[in-house]
Chain A
Amino acid sequence: MSMYPIASYTVGANTSNGITFSNIPQTFTHLHIRIFGRSYNGTAGSNTAVQYNGDSGSNYSYHYFGGDGAAVFSGGAASQTSANFGWVAGNNQTAGVFAISLIDILDYTNTNKYKVSKAIVGIDNNGSGLAGQWSGLWLNTAAINQIFVNANGWAQNSTIQIYGVTTSTIGTF
């Protein structure tokens, strides 16, 4: 299994807009996404909402478990207009603090399966924080060729890196 970088985006200035990655190559087996994220408008723990292929219908679900430094919790929701890639830091936290989400979307080109994602997520703000895991489902068998992510507005210096993952060691090293 090998991993190859296919897209990189750094937020240059605070924005209320989401980010769309289009023309996603259909040549890999899985996608891996690495988010270093902070919300411009939202508070700590704002969700990273994701939509695929421009679908804004109620075709998503998600669930999660996590800890906030004091308690363990879990939850989920069905018939949502987006799935989630976890949490981001918020504008009520110390400047410079960002969350990490490490996301895997498996078999994203398979047209016989609904699409599922798994995210390991964490953020710490010296005295408060979150750590946990999310999963998200898109109830659609279409191959994923576009990903839209938003976190109630992205803060400057947030970064999103997308990688393709192969099942064999093809390519140039």
Chain B
Amino acid sequence: MPIPAAASAGTTHGAIVPIASTLLNSATGTVYFPNIPQIYQDLMVVMTVRSDNVSFAGQVSYSIYLNSASNTANFSGTDITFTPTNQFSSRRTTSTPTYGYQSSGVTPTYASSGPNSFAGCVVNILNYANTTTYKTALMKIGGDSGGTVSSGSAIVAGLWANTAAITALTIGPYGNFVPGTMISLYGVRSVGQ
């Protein structure tokens, strides 16, 4: 496939388009992005996040419910996770759908680290408006709280076994997001979009 000579920075639009963003000023269970435009190739969610969860020593798992918060069926995920002292891979299947789309990112926890440590997380959801394929997402997440057990990084692949276009996202952790959590949604344009 020859690429047209006109494909240069001076003649094409920037690919990443901001859609919505929220900065939390109080503890919040879930963040909801409705009415997602159907005009982009991919979606990208960029988050600096932290949970008040204290039950998972060092781990905070995020759920991304697609289209509605109550729609938790048909989600599964596979991850590889590294901490300062361990590495492991795990999966979640539709037999445990409560966790939604994908999970098991490693972030500082509210109880075990100082008040200013947040995790960085980027989720890419490709072909989100396609109505033929299932929806796959890929998450990269990393958090550090001074090299303690609640530091680590992970890559997570998630599947929503549904061909419907994604029109909304609900994002939530175990527990609540703490104030200062910021979640931004972007569209990724392709050629001609």
Binding site for B on A (CB under 8 A): 2-9, 19-25, 27-28, 34, 36, 65-72, 94, 96-100, 102, 120-133, 157, 159, 161-164, 166, 170-173
Contact = CB atoms under 8 A, between A and B. Distances in A.
Closest 4 CB pairs of A and B: A67-B89, A122-B157, A129-B78, A67-B80
B4 to A, nearest CB: 8
Nearest to A36: B126
B13 A100 contact: no
Contact of B124 (A66, A100, A124, A159): A100
B184 interface: no
A72 B81 CA distance: 9
Contact of A4 (B9, B80, B81, B126): B9
Interface residues of B, number: 57
Contacts of A133: 155
Contacts of B102: 124
Contact of B91 (A3, A127, A132, A173): A127
A54 B80 CA distance: 34
Contact of B136 (A66, A123, A128, A172): A123
B156 interface: yes
B93 interface: yes
A156 to B, nearest CB: 9
B9 A170 contact: yes
Nearest to B101: A124
B87 A8 contact: no
A67 B191 contact: no
Given A100-B126, A122-B139, A127-B93, 20 more contacts: A5-B13, A5-B190, A8-B191, A21-B3, A25-B3, A28-B9, A34-B188, A67-B78, A67-B79, A67-B80, A96-B163, A97-B161, A98-B126, A100-B138, A126-B76, A127-B91, A130-B78, A131-B155, A161-B41, A170-B10
B176 to A, nearest CB: 27
A13 B126 CA distance: 19
B15 A96 contact: no
Interface stretch (B22-30, B46-54, B107-115, B127-135): B127-135
Interface string B71-97: 000101111110000011111011000
Interface of B: 1-5, 7-16, 41-42, 74, 76-81, 87-91, 93-94, 102, 124, 126-127, 130, 132-134, 136-140, 155-159, 161, 163, 188-193
Contacts of A132: 80, 155
Contacts of B193: 5
B10 A67 contact: no
Counting chain A CB atoms within 10 Å of each CB, the highest count among B12, B127, B157, B190 belongs to B157
A32 B78 CA distance: 24
Contact of B5 (A2, A23, A123, A166): A23
B81 to A, nearest CB: 8
Contacts of A129: 76-78, 91, 157, 159
Contact of A171 (B10, B91, B132): B10
A157 B131 CA distance: 11
A69 B191 contact: no
Contact of B130 (A72, A102, A157): A157
B59 to A, nearest CB: 15
11 contacts: A8-B191, A20-B1, A24-B3, A25-B8, A96-B134, A100-B124, A121-B157, A122-B136, A123-B136, A129-B78, A161-B41
